[in-house]
Each structure stands twice: as structure tokens, then as C-alpha cells.
């Protein structure tokens, strides 16, 4: 598939307006797959803008999210993991989820790109937090579980395969990953942060890039923060196959 062919098909299909964004996301992802992930370089401009937001608003973000009740989703994720499993909290924010995992006797490695959030997370969890960007991940089959709650959504769509591949590499065979995105097809800067939202169709196209991953559960949930119940989230739990396809 090449871009000129994709554009010709687009004009011939005369897609309704609501389908345009999902179509071009699908094309972008498959162009990336065709050319491979290894050549990609992580773009830092929008990432730095998002990190500046979290560094500036770390305290208010902590007040808004630390007490949010994620127990139902956390339980669904943990149900797939053996007791004492090693979990990577990818984009741990305030450390809210890492603390729960630690309290339940799981081993946790937590990281975040915001130094200010890392300070808060260290206080909440009582453990050291790795201050690093997702593109700096170098682990290979190190974790039984990866928790990516409202974190990968800050990555541009054409960078997501690169970051997802790093996360998959860090996951042991048979391991479990949880990911959540805001529901919808918006992509861009909103309230000082970059967002890549997903619908079921867009997420399905994205996961098709990774045949070694098996979707176990997918569902839409309400935002658990008070006053934001009308906001929707797309959640998915996947397993890394024990045998490479």
C-alpha cells in the first residue's frame, strides 16, 4: 500500500465525514507497518508540551485523580496475573495504581516522564520512580504485566506503533497489558496536552499491527472522576502469545 493509492481510494469511496479520521489513521498505521518500526524516531515536540503541562499542573492533577476509584478495572487486569507478578506501571502519574498493586503484594516498576509527578508518586508509593520517556524503554521480556492507564493516549498516532512495540518487547510471553484511551476519533492538542483518542474500529486496526498480541477483553467505561461521568474511555486487555506468529 502507498499513499497515492490510498488517496485515490479515499476519493472514490466518497466517505461520510465521520469516517475520514478513522480511514486516514488506518492508512497511516499500515504505511508504518509496511516500512517497519525500527527506522522510526520519536518526535518530542508534542510530547514536551504535554510534559510541561503535567509539570506545571502536577498538584492539581494529583487532586483530580489520586482518589479516583479504579478498583473495578484494576481487578479485571489483576485477575489475569499470578500473585506476586512484576508489573510495569507505564505512565504512573501520581502513583495511585502502583500503590494499590504494591499493597496487594505485586512487584511494581513505575515510570513517568514528568519529574513533578514522579516526586508525588514517590511520596504516595514509598518507592523510587523512574523518570523517563516511553521511547527510552529498553526492557526485554521483563514483566508479567503492563498497566498503561490513560498514558499511551498522549502519543501521536503515527508514533504509537513504535512505543507499543517497546512495551510488547518489555512484556514476557504470556504476559498481560492493559491500555486505555479516551473514546472518540479526536487527535490533537486539548487543554495543554496531546491526545490520540480511539474508537473500537481504530483500536482494532491498531492492534492488527501486532499479531503476537491477543485481545482478551474490550469495553467502554465512564470516567470515574466526580463531575466527569459523561466522558467515556475505551479499555482493552491483551495477552502476548507464548509462541511468535
Q: How confident is the model at residue 26 (pLDDT cuts 50, 70, 90)?
A: low
Decide: 126 and 100 in contact? Cβ < 8 Å: no
Q: Is residue 30 predicted with pLDDT exceeding 90?
A: no
pLDDT tens digits for range 123-158 = 999 999 999 999 999 999 999 999 999 999 999 999
Q: Is residue 6 predicted with pLDDT exceeding 60?
A: no
Q: Is residue 3 predicted with pLDDT exceeding 60?
A: no
Q: Which domains does the chain have, with CATH numbers?
A: 42-240 (3.40.50.150)
What is the pLDDT, as a whole number, of residue 45?
53
Q: Which of 167, 68, 158 is closest to 111 using CA atoms?
A: 167
Q: Is residue 108 predicted with pLDDT exceeding 60?
A: yes
- Mean of the per-residue pLDDT values of the chain: 85
Q: How confident is the model at residue 177 (pLDDT cuts 50, 70, 90)?
A: very high
Best-predicted range by mean pLDDT (42-56, 82-96, 221-235): 82-96
Give whole-number Cα distances, 202 to 16, 133, 144, 195, 208, in Å.
16, 24, 26, 14, 10
Look at the alpha carbons of 165, 170, 173, 179 in this order and tell me if their dihedral is positive or negative. Answer: negative
pLDDT tens digits for range 203-232 = 999 999 999 999 999 999 998 756 666 689
Amino acid at each position: 500500500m502507498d499513499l497515492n493509492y490510498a488517496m485515490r481510494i479515499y476519493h472514490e469511496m466518497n466517505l461520510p465525514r465521520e469516517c475520514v479520521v478513522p480511514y486516514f489513521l488506518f492508512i497511516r498505521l499500515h504505511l508504518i507497518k509496511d516500512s517497519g518500526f525500527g527506522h522510526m524516531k520519536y518526535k518530542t515536540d508534542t510530547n514536551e508540551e504535554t510534559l510541561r503541562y503535567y509539570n506545571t499542573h502536577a498538584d492539581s492533577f494529583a487532586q483530580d485523580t489520586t482518589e479516583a476509584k479504579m478498583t473495578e478495572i484494576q481487578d479485571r487486569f489483576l485477575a489475569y496475573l499470578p500473585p506476586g507478578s512484576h508489573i510495569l506501571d507505564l505512565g504512573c502519574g501520581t502513583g495511585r495504581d502502583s500503590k494499590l498493586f504494591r499493597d496487594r503484594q505485586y512487584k511494581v516498576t513505575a515510570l513517568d516522564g514528568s519529574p513533578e509527578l514522579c516526586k508525588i508518586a514517590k511520596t504516595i508509593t514509598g518507592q523510587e520512580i523512574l523518570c523517563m520517556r516511553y521511547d527510552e524503554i529498553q526492557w526485554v521480556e521483563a514483566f508479567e504485566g503492563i498497566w498503561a492507564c490513560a498514558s499511551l493516549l498522549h502519543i501521536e498516532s503515527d508514533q504509537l506503533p513504535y512505543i507499543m512495540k517497546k512495551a510488547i518487547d518489555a512484556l514476557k510471553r504470556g504476559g498481560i497489558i492493559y491500555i486505555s484511551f479516551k473514546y472518540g476519533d479526536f487527535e490533537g492538542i486539548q487543554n495543554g496536552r496531546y491526545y490520540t483518542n480511539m474508537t473500537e474500529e481504530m483500536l482494532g486496526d491498531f492492534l492488527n499491527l501486532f499479531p503476537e498480541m491477543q485481545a482478551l477483553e474490550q469495553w467502554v467505561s465512564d470516567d470515574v472522576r466526580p463531575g466527569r461521568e459523561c466522558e467515556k474511555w475505551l479499555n482493552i486487555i491483551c495477552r502476548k502469545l507464548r509462541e511468535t506468529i
